[in-house]
Amino acid sequence: MRLTRRKAWAAGIVAGAVLLGLIGYLFRVQIALAAFDLFFAKRVKAQLEESYQPIVRTQPEGAAETRPAEDRPEEAAAKADLPFTLLLLGSDSRGKERGRSDTMIVTVVRPRDGAMLLVSIPRDTRVDIPGREKPDKIAHAYAYGGAGLAVETLERFLDLRIDHYASINFQGFREVIDTIGGIKLPIEKDLVNDDPYHEHFVVKAGQPFYNGEDALNYVRFREDAGGDASRTKRQQIFLQAIIDKASEVGEWRKIPELIEIMGSNFATDIPPDDLLRLAEQMLARKSRPIYSHTLAGAGRMEDGAWYFIADERDCEQVKAWIRAWLDADAPLWELPKPDPAGTDGR
Confidence class for position 39, pLDDT limits 50, 70, 90: very low
How many H-runs (helices) and E-runs (strands) does the chain carry? 10, 12
Please indicate whether residue 131 or residue 260 has the higher confidence score (pLDDT). Answer: 131
Q: What are the φ/ψ torsions at residue 137 (nearest 5 degrees)?
A: -75, 140
| DSSP states of 274-312 | HHHHHHHHHHTSS---EEEEE--EEEEEETTEEEEEE-H
Confidence class for position 20, pLDDT limits 50, 70, 90: very low
Please indicate whether residue 125 or residue 250 has the higher confidence score (pLDDT). Answer: 125
pLDDT of residue 7: 55
| Mean pLDDT across 121-134 | 92
Contact 149, 323 (CB under 8 A): no
pLDDT tens per residue, range 25-37: 344 444 444 544 5
Please indicate whether residue 225 or residue 182 has the higher confidence score (pLDDT). Answer: 182
Q: How far apart are CA 36 and CA 42, in angstroms?
A: 10
Q: Provide, for the chain, the percentages of residues in helix, strand and coil under a 3-state DSSP scheme, each rounded to the nearest 5.
A: 45, 20, 35
Residue 345 has pLDDT above 50, yes or no: no
Q: Is the pTM of this model over 0.85?
A: no
Residue 119 has pLDDT above 60, yes or no: yes
Residue 60 has pLDDT above 60, yes or no: no
Identify any residues that bridge with 291 across adjacent strands, giving them in sequence order. 117
> How far, rounded to the nearest angstrom, does the alpha carbon of residue 278 sit from its chain's CA centroid?
13
Q: How far apart are CA 261 and CA 267, in angstroms?
A: 13
pLDDT tens per residue, range 265-279: 888 998 888 877 777
Please indicate whether residue 49 or residue 99 has the higher confidence score (pLDDT). Answer: 49
Return the minimum-mean-pLDDT range out of 158-162, 201-205, 237-241, 254-258. Answer: 254-258
> Which amino acid makes up residue 197?
Y
What's the half-sphere exposure (Cβ side, CA atoms, 13 Å) at 333? 0
pLDDT of residue 106: 95
3-class SS at 116?
A: strand
Please indicate whether residue 316 or residue 340 has the higher confidence score (pLDDT). Answer: 316
| DSSP states of 171-228 | GGHHHHHHHTT-B-----S-EEE--TTS--EEE-TT-SSB-HHHHHHHHH---STTHH
Burial string for 238-265 (b: 16+ CB within 10 Å, else e) reads bbbbbeebbeeeeebebbbbbbebbeeb
- Domains defined for the chain, CATH in brackets: 40-334 (3.40.630.190)
Q: What is the mean pLDDT of the chain?
A: 76
pLDDT tens per residue, range 197-245: 667 889 999 999 999 999 988 988 877 766 667 777 888 788 888 877 7
pLDDT of residue 25: 38
Residue 83 has pLDDT above 80, yes or no: yes
